[in-house]
Amino acid sequence: MKKQLVTIAVALAAVCAQAQTLDAYLKLRKSNGIFQAASVEALDTFVGTKILEIRGIVKGSIRSGKVTAFVVERADGSTSMIETTAPPEWLVGNEVSARLLVRARRGDENGVLHIEWLGAAPEDAVHNIELAEAKKLAAKRQPSPGARHETKRDVFTPPTKAREWIIPASEVTPIYAAYIKKINRKLQSREAMRIAEGVVGFSIHYGVDARLIMALMIAESDFNPRELSRSGAMGLGQLMPGTAKDLGVSNPYDLVENVYGTVKLLSQHLKHYRAKTGEDFQSLCLALAAYNAGPGAVARAGGVPPFRDTQRYVKRVVSLYKQFAGLN
pLDDT band of residue 309 (cuts 50, 70, 90) is very high
* Mean pLDDT along residues 171-176: 86
Annotated catalytic residue: which of 41, 123, 197, 220?
220
Please state the φ and ψ torsions of residue 289, each to the nearest 5 degrees. -65, -40
pLDDT band of residue 61 (cuts 50, 70, 90) is confident
Bridge-based pairing state of the strands 79-84 and 96-106 = unpaired
Instruction: Specify the higher pLDDT residue, 29 or 265.
Output: 265
Active site residue 220: yes
* Mean pLDDT along residues 193-209: 89
pLDDT at site 135: 67
pLDDT band of residue 168 (cuts 50, 70, 90) is low
pLDDT band of residue 76 (cuts 50, 70, 90) is low
Q: How far is CA 248 from CA 102, 131, 251, in A?
A: 18, 8, 9
Please, where are the H alpha helices in the chain?
2-31, 40-45, 123-139, 169-183, 189-206, 210-221, 241-247, 255-277, 280-293, 295-301, 308-325
pLDDT at site 315: 94
Q: How far is CA 285 from CA 41, 44, 267, 280, in A?
A: 18, 22, 13, 9
Cβ pair 324, 215 in contact under 8 A: yes
